[in-house]
């Protein structure tokens, strides 16, 4: 154990886009901070809305309803990733997920009003949703209880789902995500270079190493 300065980060920012109800977004959330830290990057956690926004732009049905691809992800790739990385998932992947709007709006408020709690709030909500299997993402009282535990404004979080300010904050983030071409959860962006999917992290790793070696970017 060493006592010293916090790790130096000067390599820029990694934008981490995730949807609370995306299993791959959850997987990404569990490793993105360590990954970024290894590369000297700060992480900016950013909400996106897969089912509510992106799939409408892409004219795609939700993953479970897609022929061939749905079965691949639900029966193979998602449980396999969880197993290989020791991640417990308490949810039925084939069941329709709860609406994540309340969680995403609450997240935007926490990020604005209690930025030091941003990451711990997102992680606690993701953990409750995925590892405990509760419908926290659509439950203002559960969201508020998490906020209170973390020193974030619980009353504002409890009201976030129906708060026009929170709605505008989230809308602005989601519009920006689409403008940046984000179509899936998770998406990692460094210096406007997007990497989609948790399996793209080795590619991002190689891209960052190559950039350091060549001084490019």
Q: Pick from 2, 59, 95, 164 the residue near a copy of itself by CB under 8 A.
A: 59
Distance CA 30, CA 26 (A): 7
> Are the CB atoms for 187 and 48 separated by under 8 Å?
yes
Phi, psi of 9 (to 5 degrees): -125, 115
Of 10-18, 108-116, 145-153, 203-211: span binding a copy of itself (CB under 8 A): 203-211
Binder of a copy of itself out of 41, 54, 108, 158 (CB under 8 A): 54
**How many Å apart are CA 214 and CA 202, to the nearest integer?**
18
Whether 138 and 100 have beta carbons less than 8 Å apart is answered as yes
> Angle between the 118-126 and 101-113 helix axes, to the nearest 10 degrees?
160
DSSP secondary structure code for residue 97 in this structure? P
With CB under 8 A as the contact rule, the residue among 4, 68, 95, 164 that binds a copy of itself is 68
Q: Which stretch binds a copy of itself (CB under 8 A): 10-18, 65-73, 97-105, 120-128?
A: 65-73
| Cβ atoms of 17 and 187 closer than 8 Å | yes
**Is residue 71 near a copy of itself by the rule CB under 8 A?**
yes
Query: Residues touching a copy of itself: how many (CB under 8 A)?
Result: 33
Among 17, 26, 130, 183, binds a copy of itself (CB under 8 A): 183
Q: Does 182 bind a copy of itself (CB under 8 A)?
A: yes
Q: Which residues bind a copy of itself (CB under 8 A)?
A: 54, 57-60, 66-69, 71-72, 76-77, 80-81, 84, 178, 181-184, 193-197, 199-200, 202-203, 206-207, 210
């Amino acid at each position: 154990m060493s006592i010293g300065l916090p790790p130096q980060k000067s390599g820029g920012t990694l934008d981490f886009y995730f949807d609370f109800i995306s299993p791959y977004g959850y997987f990404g959330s569990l490793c993105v901070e360590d990954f970024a830290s290894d590369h000297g990057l700060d992480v900016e956690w950013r909400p996106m809305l897969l089912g509510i926004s992106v799939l409408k732009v892409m004219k795609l049905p939700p993953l479970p309803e897609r022929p061939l691809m749905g079965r691949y992800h639900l029966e193979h790739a998602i449980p396999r990733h969880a197993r290989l990385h020791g991640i417990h998932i308490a949810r039925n992947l084939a069941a329709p997920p709860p609406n994540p709007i309340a969680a995403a709006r609450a997240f935007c408020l926490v990020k604005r009003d209690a930025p030091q709690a941003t990451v711990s709030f997102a992680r606690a909500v993701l953990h409750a949703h995925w590892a405990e299997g509760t419908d926290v993402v659509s439950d203002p009282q559960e969201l508020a209880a998490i906020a209170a535990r973390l020193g974030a404004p619980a009353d504002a979080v409890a009201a976030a789902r129906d708060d026009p300010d929170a709605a505008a904050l989230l809308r602005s983030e989601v519009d920006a995500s689409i403008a940046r071409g984000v179509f899936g959860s998770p998406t990692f962006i460094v210096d406007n270079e997007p990497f989609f999917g948790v399996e793209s992290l080795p590619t991002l790793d190689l891209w960052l190493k190559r950039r350091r070696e060549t001084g490019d970017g």
